[in-house]
Amino acid sequence: MELRERVAALMPRAKKDLAELVAFRSVADARQFPPEECEKAAQWVLDAFAQVGFGGLRLVETADGSKAVYGERPGPPGAKTVLLYAHYDVQPPLDEDAWNSPVWELTERDGRWYGRGAADCKGNILMHLTALRALGDDVPVGLKLIVEGSEEQGTGGLEDFVPKNADLLRADAILVCDTGGAAVGRPALTVSLRGLANVVVSVEALSSEMHSGMFGGAAPDALAALIHMLSSLRDAQGNTTVDGLDNTQTWSGAPYPAGQFAADAHVLNGETPLGDGTVSDMLWARPALTVLGIDCPPVVGSASAIQPHARARLNLRVPPGMDAVRAQDALIAHLEAAAPWGVHVTVEREASGQPFLAETGGPAYTALRGAMKDAYGVESVSLGQGGSIPLCNVFRDTYPDAEIILMGVEEPLTLMHAPNESVDPHEIARMALTEALFLQRY
C-alpha cells in the first residue's frame, strides 16, 4: 500500500483519537479549569506516542508548573535527528453560547471537525501520530518529541526548560507544528513571526466620581483621556502610529489577497482592510496595535458621572527587524506623551517576545518543500504569521545550527482562539503525508 493510501486508511482512527483529545479541557490555568484536565491530556499524548515506537517517554515538569511530554526514537547510526513539537494545552472557550456545537466534543459539520483545540494544537498532534503510523518502522532518521502544556498561557515553561536541557532536545531539524497553510489545499511554510509587547495603561483623573451636570466640561475625565490616548495609536487609514516605530516596511513573500482576507477575517460588508500597505504588509511586516480590553463602566448601569479612572490592556505586534523591548519602550513613551489635561498615567509592562525570521536555505527546507508539493500537488508558499511563538527564538539561540520549520494544519478557516474552532480533516491527512514523506527523504 502506498503511503498516501496508508494515511487515508488511518483517518478514521485520527478522528477517534482527536475526539478523545479534544474532550480534555486542557486550559493551563487553574483559575478556569481543573489542573487534572491538563494532566490527563499529557498522559494521553505520552501513551499515544508509546504506541508509535517512542521510548524514554516521561512527563517533565517545567518552571511554570506545566508538564511537557518528552520521548525519543533513535534512528540508524549516523542518521540525522528531527525534533517534533506541538502543544496539548488550549485556549479557554470564551463565550460557550457562541459555539454551534459542544466545545469539548468533536463534532463533524460541513466536512470540518469542530471543538476547542481541534486545530490549535491537538490537530497537529494527530498529524504527527498519523504520519508515524503510516510509516511504521520505515523511519530512516532519529526522532525526538516535545509536546508542551502551557503554550497558550505564555508563561514560558518550555522556554525556560530548553536551554537548561539543551542536549536532551538537540536535533538537526525542528518541526514546530503550530501554524498552517495559506488556505485549505494551499500548503505554506511560515518563515516569519511577529513578536509582541503588551502593556496595561491606567489613567487617574479624579479622586471620586463626580456629577457630570455639575462638574462636566471643566473637570478632567479619565475615560475621555484614555480614549484620546488610544486614538493617537492609529491614523485615519488604520496604520499603527507609535512614535519611533517604523510602519512602512513591506512583505516580500506570498501575497494575501484582500478578498480572501476579508472572508477569512469575517470582515463586515463595506469595510476594507486597514492601512496603506498590502494585507501582507500590515499582517507580517509592520507593527500592529490592538486594544484587548478596557476597564470602564458598562452601558447598562452607568450613571451621569465623570469617570475618575480607566485603564486598557494593549497588545503590540512587532515584525522581524524590530526589537520587542524597544518597541514596548516606545509604546510606553508614546502613551505618556499623549496623555492630555495633566491626568496621571501609569503603564505596566506585561509580556514581551522577540519576532522570528527563519533561515530557509538548508536541506531540511528543501526536503520539506518537495514533500509538500508531492502531498498537495502544488508548490508551497512562504507566509508570515501575526502570532508569536517565543519558543522559536529559544530554539534558534540554543541550537544555532538547526533548521527550524514552522508548519501545521491551522489554515485561516480554523478560527483558532475563537468560538467554533475547527479543522479540515483533509489538512490533517495532507500534512501527515507531508511529514511522512519528509521523514523518509531527509
Which residues does the annotation mark as catalytic? 89, 151
Beta strand 403-407 pairing with 288-295: unpaired
Strands (E), 88-194: 107-109, 112-114, 142-148, 173-177, 188-193
Neighbours of 129 (CB within 10 A): 25
- DSSP three-state, residue 177: strand
Cell 490533517 belongs to 428
Residue (of 400, 266, 407, 242) closest to 318 by Cα position: 242
DSSP-assigned beta bridge partners for residue 327: none
The dihedrals phi and psi of 100, each to the nearest 5 degrees, come to -90, 0
Beta strand 403-407 pairing with 173-177: parallel
DSSP-assigned beta bridge partners for residue 83: 144, 174
Q: Is 345 in contact with 351 (CB distance < 8 Å)?
A: no
Neighbours of 167 (CB within 10 A): 5
Q: Is 119 in contact with 423 (CB distance < 8 Å)?
A: yes
Q: Is 3 in contact with 131 (CB distance < 8 Å)?
A: no
| Backbone Cα Rg of the chain | 23
Residue (of 411, 282, 314, 406) closest to 356 by Cα position: 406
- Tell me how far the alpha carbon of residue 353 is from its chain's centroid: 12
- Separation CA 428–CA 128 (nearest Å): 9
Q: Which amino acid is at 257?
A: P
Cβ neighbourhood burial of 68 (10 Å; 0-12, 13-18, 19+): buried
- Separation CA 266–CA 32 (nearest Å): 28
- Separation CA 81–CA 172 (nearest Å): 5
- Separation CA 435–CA 8 (nearest Å): 14
Q: Is 122 in contact with 22 (CB distance < 8 Å)?
A: yes
Q: Which amino acid is at 251?
A: W
